[in-house]
Structure 1
């Protein structure tokens, strides 16, 4: 059995996705019925880009599950002196059981680290997708509504790696609706859109994207946005703020969806992508969502540890047979 990797939500089967989300929601609800699944395991935490929530979530999650951590900063590895991605992964895999990494770059680098059978690799954000954020969002919805099926979510803002993960995760639940309103030129990556639509067809869900704020449907269960300046990225267009301005989340969006909760992956910039009235208002569960990053991280780490335990048991059986 090879190590379990989470580089994209598409690396999970439907059953695995649902199980990880349900386990995250159980942790969020106070479940602590585990036997330190990371005891004896070492997790490397490598962040080349800034992080408050994700890095803290995984670090705290490892410790709460009985594991130990080695942390690496952006300038700590011999990658900076020309060592190949594959060689780095091969070395890591002989010393670490799990590697949690944020590069904000091409996910192919993480695939290179994952090209070995011993160490799990978890994508803590790449330029294309933020899969652990997607799991956090699904965990938050499940905890709030008691289900994910049939929920209707409005996402407003850039079609960035957070939007990608939301699209690739939510569409795998039966009967869900995801309406994306993204600025012209800043929509979902075409490959992500194609994959999300394929999931939607297979699960009886719906995903649509428009580049304006006109004719919004009513009756959403959740309204979601993320900051306009995605971590590790810049905008090529000098007038990009003019394009984004109509997509600010204000209290007016609740006129047609008065019971909707508000989600934000944080950090937030009040007065830009969202008004303070919304972020700090009664509909906002953004800070519970932030806490759920730790609960989702614990669920992911537990899933990785189960793979490591199965692999160790198999190796032990092979050694006895020899």
Structure 2
């Protein structure tokens, strides 16, 4: 694939943002293709094609990460690219350079940039506009879109197809839950219930947006705050750790609010045919019992493996879009 050479004009406005920043920017066809390629890459993680050959991919993580950082680094290598890692204090952002200026410089040298931050998505969008190169949101405060791509691909890998699937998320309406709500809203024929503690639910505007998108596809996105109001039948139960990466809770009694949302053998016993999912890292005894996480019905480790293949699918997609 041949690309035109860059001829940056110092006086010109930078190009518009590209990449994958939010699943609100993605249509049903694009998500379906990302999921399909994720499953394909999971079956063959060493493909012959090298769509990133000769390309440099920045990996800028200002928040901790094990799976996502490793996945995107290895994904760039497996697709023929060269990853360049940056830590939280490595760039001149640490000395006060603006996001727009930093993005512009990185855009002159890199072919794509993968970013994780505990900050707001708006900051990542400013960086992307400055770069004018594909930027991938590997987690921001509001949303974790690549995790949802991974999770939906894991469901497809396990179930084959998703129409008729009943999905139950249990826990905080955090950035993973937000991405799942937006992602599952684009999958026809699914029922997704988010059981969240009072005061710790999905943002109302996001929930309404996801419900509208879902309605056009015969999908249901709903939220409950009472564990007695769960669906009668569920195919997959999902949870995340109660302390989301990079966050803290102001309420000193927050654990009491979360305690009823513990995923244990009793809850899984209500759904004997359901699989269990967790984005990891997990705190056994907090959000999930060890017997559930490590049990025969757990897909958590398959999800972890799928992080790599979904990272490959995302990088392939954003680089092809930028060709």
TM-score by length of 1: 0.93
Aligned counterpart in structure 2 of residue 90 of structure 1, from 91, 100, 104: 104
Is the Cα contact below 8 Å between 1:104 and 1:125 reproduced in 2? yes
2: CA distance between counterparts of 1:26 and 1:168? Answer: 23
Cα displacement (A) at 1:31:
6.1
Cα displacement (A) at 1:208:
1.2
Instruction: Give the corresponding residue for 1:279.
Output: 293
Instruction: Give the corresponding residue for 2:311.
Output: 297
Cα displacement (A) at 1:94:
0.3
2: CA distance between counterparts of 1:168 and 1:34? Answer: 33
1:136 is the counterpart of 2:150: yes
Deviations 1:80-114 (A, max 9, x none): 11111111111110000110000121111111112
Instruction: Give the corresponding residue for 1:30.
Output: 44
2: CA distance between counterparts of 1:240 and 1:274? Answer: 16
2: CA distance between counterparts of 1:34 and 1:176? Answer: 35
Cα displacement (A) at 1:251:
1.2
Is the Cα contact below 8 Å between 1:104 and 1:126 reproduced in 2? yes
2: CA distance between counterparts of 1:155 and 1:33? Answer: 33
Pairing 1:112-131 to 2, within 5 Å after superposition: 112-116=126-130, 118-131=132-145
Per the alignment, in what secondary structure is the counterpart of residue 267 of structure 1?
Answer: coil
Instruction: Give the corresponding residue for 2:214.
Output: 200
Instruction: Give the corresponding residue for 2:65.
Output: 51
Pairing 1:1-322 to 2, within 5 Å after superposition: 4-30=18-44, 32-116=46-130, 118-309=132-323
Is the Cα contact below 8 Å between 1:222 and 1:260 reproduced in 2? yes
Cα displacement (A) at 1:190:
1.6
Is the Cα contact below 8 Å between 1:5 and 1:11 reproduced in 2? no
2: CA distance between counterparts of 1:211 and 1:3? Answer: 37
Cα displacement (A) at 1:117:
7.0
1: CA distance between counterparts of 2:87 and 2:22? Answer: 23
RMSD: 1.4
Aligned length: 309
Unpaired segments ≥5 residues, structure 1: 310-322
Is the Cα contact below 8 Å between 2:137 and 2:146 reproduced in 1? yes
TM-score by length of 2: 0.93
2: CA distance between counterparts of 1:251 and 1:30? Answer: 34
1: CA distance between counterparts of 2:267 and 2:44? Answer: 33
Cα displacement (A) at 1:116:
4.7
Cα displacement (A) at 1:253:
1.9
Instruction: Give the corresponding residue for 1:313.
Output: none
2: CA distance between counterparts of 1:145 and 1:97? Answer: 35
2: CA distance between counterparts of 1:18 and 1:31? Answer: 19
2: CA distance between counterparts of 1:135 and 1:58? Answer: 13
Cα displacement (A) at 1:2:
6.4
Is the Cα contact below 8 Å between 2:17 and 2:125 reproduced in 1? no
Instruction: Give the corresponding residue for 1:319.
Output: none
2: CA distance between counterparts of 1:212 and 1:160? Answer: 17
Moved more, 52-61 or 249-258: 249-258
2: CA distance between counterparts of 1:223 and 1:276? Answer: 15
Deviations 1:141-189 (A, max 9, x none): 0100011222110000000000001100012111100111101100001
1: CA distance between counterparts of 2:17 and 2:71? Answer: 22
Is the Cα contact below 8 Å between 2:171 and 2:240 reproduced in 1? yes
